[in-house]
Amino acid sequence: MNLTLLLLTKLAKLRLSTIPAPETDPNSIAIDPDPAVQIRPGRSVHSTKGIRYDGKLRMDLLVPSGPGPHPVVLYLPGGGFVAARRQMASKQRAYVADAGFAVASIDYRTTSNGATYRDGLADVAAALRFLHAHAAEYHLDPMRIAVWGESAGGYLASMAATEPDNQFVAAVSMFGASDLSTLTDGFDIEAPDAIAAYVPDFCEGNPAGRVTDQTPPFLLLHGDDDRLIAPAQTAILHQALLAAGIESTRYVVRGAGHGTLSEHPAVWTSAALMDYVVDFFRAHL
């Protein structure tokens, strides 16, 4: 068990199911990225860390070399709804930035701050206001901003993308939840208390129920051996997007678990998998 899993198991009281939940979505694509070929971020980016964007909340910003203005990806880290460390996914963020996108990774409030998803959405909105206000300073294009999140961050990214005022042009959710009332269906575990604390109203806090004709295109990725967030969670959102006529692509990663919270996380930092993400951003940003 890796260090990240140990820490989150303690903080969020997370347990992994001993059995997988079924993956049955008919409109998804199964992929087998080679974990032996890992991403190798270049060094053609400028890094600014610890930018205060709202109160005590901070942002790390990676900006490609060149005059810009550069399209922007707002990254929302996972953390079981009890933590949100902007330093997470450093390799993946650097890889995306090296492909030509400014990547802003933010802290956001969680249950450790007594927050709910509504506070998280307010933090995303504050980060967007900061990026707009400082676009010239950091050579950003405020009209081309996407959101990307993993796990709890994937859930919040889906909620933020279905908030029309945010005007994201694209969204990526990696193994994020959707309908939290069915979070553990097919598992032999119960949902951690942090879920109900962060999302006290499962109906209003379901991104699948918030999809409109203003929702941007989505890329969804989920491992079929995820023992924490059942693959059906991204499938629910995928089907809601397709039903509304919104572009949505969902990849099911064969044999993959829940990101770094698995025994074999290397598939999530493989070049083949991350190129799906980069290609999606290139197509929409």
Cβ-Cβ contacts under 8 Å for 199 (sequence gap 6 or more): 81, 116, 117, 180, 205
> Any idea of the CA torsion for 200, 202, 208, 214, to the nearest 10 degrees?
-40
Residue 184 tokens, joined: 């553990």
Cβ-Cβ contacts under 8 Å for 124 (sequence gap 6 or more): 74, 76, 106, 108, 147, 156, 160, 163, 166
226 residue type, one letter: D
Q: 35: cis peptide before it, omega within 30°?
A: no
- Is the pLDDT score of 8 beyond 70? no
CA angle, 12 as apex, 10 and 13 as ends, to 5°?
60
Pure H helices in the chain: 3-12, 90-98, 117-133, 135-138, 152-161, 193-198, 232-243, 271-284
Comparing CA positions, the residue from 170, 167, 196 lying closest to residue 183 is 196
pLDDT 10s digits, 95-120:
999 999 999 999 999 999 999 999 99
- Is the pLDDT score of 210 beyond 90? yes
N- to C-terminal Cα separation, the chain: 37
Q: Quote the pLDDT of residue 58.
A: 98
82 pLDDT tier (thresholds 50, 70, 90) = very high
- What's the number of CA atoms in the CB half-sphere (13 Å) around residue 181? 10
Q: Quote the pLDDT of residue 125.
A: 98
pTM of the model: 0.95
Query: Check: CATH 3.40.50.1820 for 3-284?
Result: yes
- Is the pLDDT score of 53 beyond 50? yes
Q: In whole angstroms, give the CA distance from residue 133 to residue 275.
A: 30
pLDDT 10s digits, 151-200:
999 999 999 999 999 999 999 999 999 999 999 899 998 888 888 999 99
